[in-house]
Amino acid sequence: MRSRTQTHVAFSEVNWGTLKSLLPYMMEFRTRVALAMLCLIAAKIASVGLPFILKHVVDSLDAKGADAMLALPLGLLLAYGAVRFSNVLFGELRDTLFGRVTERAMRRLGLKVFKHLHHLDLEYHLGRQTGGISRDIERGTAGISFLMRFMVFNIGPTLLEIAMVMGLLWWNYHLGFALIVGVAVVLYVGFSVLATEWRTHFVREMNQAESESSSRAVDSLLNFETVKYFTNEAEEARLYDRGLAQWEMARRKNRLSLFALNGGQALIIAVAMTAALILAANDVINGSMTLGDFVLINAFMMQVFMPLNFLGFVYREMKGAMANIEKLFGLLDVQPRVVDSPDAGPLVPGPGRIEFEDVRFHYHSDRPILKGIGLTVEPRQKVAIVGSSGAGKSTLFKLLFRFYDVTGGAIRIDGQDIRHLTQHSLRQAIGVVPQDTVLFNTSILENVRYGRVDATDEEVWDVIRLAHLDEFVSRLPEGLQTRVGERGLKLSGGEKQRVAIARALLKRPPIMVFDEATSSLDSHSEKSILTALKEVAAEQTTLVIAHRLSTVIDADAIVVLKDGVVVEQGTHQALLALGGHYARLWALQQKQSDEM
């Protein structure tokens, strides 16, 4: 399996088998590909025929006699124009036919990567760099377009045309012209390959610097508020400029190495064309060739070396495109650590009983987080999990939602081990109101409707009223159509939490999890929403992760965690009477509340 932290692939390590990976995407339009190939062949035949027509035109013009001057050249010139037009026409038809193949491949692969990223586990996404992945996807899909068009329609056909020209020159004239073309092509390709391999690490450095600076910019802009809180605009600019400086240096090296490559290629072509024309001119002087033959040789040399010059560019860009495509396929190679078991089935609906049976979990083996949690939440019960920071409260929820799998014990819903359920059916059965609410940059309406995308406007309004968001929405000029901004930055913390609550209520799952769901609300709003949630919770099994103990005093049971184990369990009054850890936390919070 590919390393989960690998984001950059060396060009020298490019796997040419990547081409095989693209074949299924091309074969979706077999007929179009076949027609495009026929157009390509027709265009090449027309291209090779042009110099011969030009030779006869020149020989006719060079011949003596008015009849030859007026009749034969006119027919040849018309034929020349028709063949040249056919060459262009077949080329355009080829590109038009193959364009849809390329576009569909880009769409299919881009969608596949997007879906795969959403199937990866939380650990991967906590460590990823959004800007860098975004650039990898963008460059990879662009590389598909380049590779499929130029590999199929430039490299192969150009080599075929070179072979045809060498054979025609040898057959019609002598071996010297074929040798000049052959030696020049070998030198050109050899030099291009060696020089390209030499300079590819500059391209890699440039791409890496570009990805890192892009990631830095995206990360900084996503944390705009934090930057402002600590007045670190200058520091962010300095770090971003440092990345841009690395990109500038890498780009300069890339440009200079490209100059050396292009210069060497141009020298090989110039020497070869000069040698061929000197040989042809000598044969004209000796009388073994006509002036038309000289023009034909010149046309063939230009016809061979112009696409060969372009072939150097294609080879360089193709190497880069294949590296970018391999990064794209590299994302597909990353495997999630939380996967459905082969025998996984959907969750069978039940009353909503949750069992945590000797649950143990660790991120690292030398640092256990949960050390044998035993807990049962009966159907339609409201159970609160409280404790100090780091006690393992949120980890318990992440295990229930299968962001991670337990390292020991089991979690069951209605007697079904969640490891034997499909993740999709499990998560459909759980509604979540997270502590850190992040909204999409769309309208309030669409953010609430995200809880159930097929919900009607009336159903959306119902949950907005339940979440006590209706008064706020009615004051907005655009109402429910008001856009919330990037990550919901246009809304206050309390407003964002109300949207999150409304979204979760719209889902109406049998199990609800509230992770500090009212932490950003004022006392009045908190009281109103807790009343509404209590009404909703009467029909659901509710798990509340709370820091503020005042929000869970009405819970059927309160579970107190400390250092990854359950130290106390009972109702609010029973735990106060016990005088243990919960009573101390309650007294501390009450004291803090009185001092405010």
3-state SS, 325-339, equals HHHHHHHHHCCCCCC
pLDDT tens digits for range 526-545: 676 676 667 666 778 888 88
46/253 Cα distance (integer angstroms):
41
As a whole number of angstroms, the distance between CA 49 and CA 80 comes to 9
pLDDT of residue 68: 46
* CB neighbourhood size of 526 (10 A): 20
| pLDDT tens digit sequence for 569-596 | 999 899 998 888 888 888 888 877 665 5
What is the reported pLDDT for 4?
A: 40
Structural contact between residues 540 and 504, judged by C-beta atoms closer than 8 angstroms: no
Nearest of 386, 383, 384, 376 to residue 413 by alpha carbon: 376
Query: 437-508, which class in CATH?
Result: alpha beta
CA dist 396 and 402 (Å) reads 10
b/e burial code for range 426-438 (CB count within 10 A of at least 16 → b): bbebbbbbbbebe
Q: Please enumerate in sequence order all residues whose Cβ is within 8 A of that of 2, keeping only pairs 6 or more positions apart, or say none.
A: 330, 333, 334
* Residue 456, both tokens: 């009607």
**Average pLDDT of the chain?**
78
pLDDT at 360: 92
For 400, the enclosing helix (H) or strand (E) is: helix 393-400
- Summarised one tens digit per residue, pLDDT across range 66-98 is 444 455 566 666 777 777 787 778 777 877 777
Q: How confident is the model at residue 518 (pLDDT cuts 50, 70, 90)?
A: low
Domain 11-333 identical in fold to domain 347-429+511-596? no
| Strand pairing class (367-377; 354-364) | antiparallel
Q: Give the C-alpha distances (Å, rounded to integers) separating 18 from 15, 144, 147, 183.
A: 6, 10, 10, 31
Q: Does domain 11-333 have CATH number 3.30.470.10?
A: no
186, two tokens: 């070998």
How far apart are the C-alpha atoms of 303 and 169, rounded to whole Å?
Answer: 13
**Pairwise CA distance, residues 306 & 311, whole Å:** 9
Kindly report, residue by residue over 93-135, the tens digit of the pLDDT: 877 777 777 777 778 877 888 888 877 766 766 666 665 677 7
Distance CA 477, CA 380 (A): 40
The pLDDT-based confidence of 153 (bands split at 50, 70, 90) is low
Average pLDDT, integer, range 50-77: 60
pLDDT score of 274 more than 90? no
pLDDT class for 228, splitting at 50, 70, 90?
A: confident
Distances (CA, A) of 325 to 64, 240, 491, 546: 61, 27, 40, 46
Helix (H, G, I), strand (E, B), or coil: what is residue 589?
A: helix
The whole-angstrom separation of Cα 432 and Cα 454 is 18
- CA-based max dimension of the chain: 125
pLDDT at position 525: 65
The CA distance from 79 to 60, in Å, is 14
Cβ contact 113:332 at 8 Å? yes
Q: Which CATH number fits domain 347-429+511-596: 3.40.50.10490, 3.10.180.10, 3.40.50.300, 1.20.1260.10?
A: 3.40.50.300
Task: For residue 305, name the pLDDT band (cuts at 50, 70, 90).
Answer: confident
pLDDT tens per residue across span 380-400: 888 999 988 777 888 888 899
CA distance 154 to 151: 6
Q: For residue 262, what are the CA distances in angstroms to 30, 108, 146?
A: 37, 36, 20
393-449 pLDDT, tens digit per residue, is 888 888 998 888 899 999 999 999 999 999 889 988 888 888 777 788 888 888 889
For 38, other C-beta atoms within 10 Å of its C-beta total 13
Which amino acid type is present at position 551?
T
Q: Where are the domains of the chain?
A: 11-333, 347-429+511-596, 437-508
**DSSP bridge pairs for 431:** 512
| C-beta neighbour count of 96 within 10 angstroms | 12
